[in-house]
Amino acid sequence: MNIPIFELERVQSLFENTVDYNLTESGFHPYTLNELLDKQQIDTLTNTVLGYGQTNGSIPLRKRISALYNGANEENVLVTNGSSEANFIACHTLLEKGDEVVMMVPNYMQIWGIAEEMGCIPKAFQLLEENNWKPDLEQLKKLVTSKTKMIALCNPNNPTGYTLTKEEMKEIITIAKSVDAWVYCDEVYRGAALDGNVRQSFMGMYDKVMVNGGLSKAYALPGLRLGWLVGPEKIIADTWAYHDYTSITAGIMSHYIGEIALQPAKRLEILNRNRTMLNENLKAVKEWLNQYGDLFEYTAPQSGGMLFIKYNLEINSTELAEWLRKEKSVFILAGDCYGMDYHFRIGIGERKDYILAGLERIKQALKERFDI
């Protein structure tokens, strides 16, 4: 097997359903259909013919998605089975063996693994923890070469919640143009800002930009497995060709529900619900962490459903996560999954009582093992 194990996803898949408290979820507590849809919409759903539908995404859904991006229309959109499939298709459309991919880290590391499997050369540029996770754009300038085919970003960032400023986005575009590279940005957390302002997309800033999005994170609808790619019309047509070889189409029920979720009023309702939850939970989690003084260090996220935390204990992050899971049935994501030991990630988009109950288990464990 040439492709490396995707450690972050594998470890979550193994354990997230086997514990009392799963604190690794990076999105928001999911909706039920009854919460999301009215009676007429549910009736329509239950009478939907379960055919294939349009393989690149229904026209109404692609129109809703394109409305989120300046200058886009439905021909700029491919609908996929989640944003993970979007990443896979984008890489196989834009990259060839031997190409360099310069990737923001820490990051959701799927693209790194895909690039390695394809025979590409992944290179990392850093978000700087000591600078509140601002990107090291001087490092990025030095890393790009004539062989750089893609600059891969995650904005808002997983796991730090850092969100690029407009000035940083413009500088990244300038760097990409200098070597004629694609800018590919995972924007699946766009819409999940704590201040409620939807940040600018990279789409439209440069003619070699492709972005992905989806309903799993900012929209709290992971069970739909609905994602998308947005980019130049010709390149999106090429991605459709790859999509025909992967999953062919997203489910027709997901098409229907996704189009409803992205209607302007419903979309605003969803984002407001999740932002309120995020702000309340972040306040509660910060209070919990701060009781320990300098044991935990963190920069509060600007967006997204997670908090990335540094801890000052002499224990490896994977060992810490496994110990908490086995001893207290609470699951955190080890920093090792991002190549950053002595860190862990917890989700802050769940129900507040659930999060605090999980943290209480951690408090008991710290008292028992470290007497703190």
- Dist. CA 372–CA 364, nearest whole Å: 9
Same domain? For 250 and 275 the reply is no
Tell me what pLDDT residue 14 has: 75
Tell me what pLDDT residue 6 has: 74
- Dist. CA 33–CA 123, nearest whole Å: 42
**Position 21 in a domain:** yes
Question: What's the pLDDT band for 7 if we cut at 50, 70, 90?
Answer: confident
Tell me what pLDDT residue 153 has: 98
Q: Answer for the pair 260, 33: CB distance below 8 angstroms, yes or no.
A: no
Domain boundary among 264, 283, 315: 264
The DSSP code for 185 is E
151: which residues sit within 8 A by CB, 6+ positions away? 101, 102, 103, 140, 144, 172, 175, 176, 181, 182, 183, 184
Greatest CA separation for the chain: 61
Strands 296-298 and 306-311: antiparallel
Same domain? For 242 and 314 the reply is no
Residue 273 has pLDDT above 80, yes or no: yes
**Position 41 in a domain:** no
Tokens of residue 65, six digits = 């998605």
Same domain? For 341 and 294 the reply is yes
CATH classification at residue 209: 3.40.640.10
Domain boundary among 215, 246, 264: 264
Domain boundary among 242, 264, 286: 264
Q: Give tens-digit pLDDT for 193-223.
A: 999 999 999 999 999 999 999 999 999 999 9
Same domain? For 240 and 306 the reply is no
pTM (predicted TM-score): 0.95
Tell me what pLDDT residue 159 has: 97
Question: What's the pLDDT band for 72 if we cut at 50, 70, 90?
Answer: very high
**Position 58 in a domain:** yes
Question: What's the pLDDT band for 1 if we cut at 50, 70, 90?
Answer: low
Domain, as residue range, for 180: 51-264
Same domain? For 248 and 280 the reply is no
Same domain? For 241 and 352 the reply is no
Same domain? For 328 and 250 the reply is no
Q: Answer for the pair 341, 333: CB distance below 8 angstroms, yes or no.
A: no
Same domain? For 69 and 206 the reply is yes
The position carrying tokens 């989690």 is 285
Same domain? For 73 and 186 the reply is yes
Same domain? For 72 and 217 the reply is yes
Task: Tell me which H or E stretch contains 344.
Answer: strand 343-347
End-to-end CA distance of the chain: give it in Å, rounded.
Answer: 45
Same domain? For 272 and 156 the reply is no
Domain count for the chain: 2
User: 337-340: long-range contacts at Cβ-Cβ below 8 A with a sequence spacing of 24 or more?
Assistant: 337/7, 337/8, 337/11, 337/109, 338/8, 338/105, 338/106, 338/107, 338/109, 338/159, 339/105, 339/106, 340/106
Same domain? For 93 and 217 the reply is yes
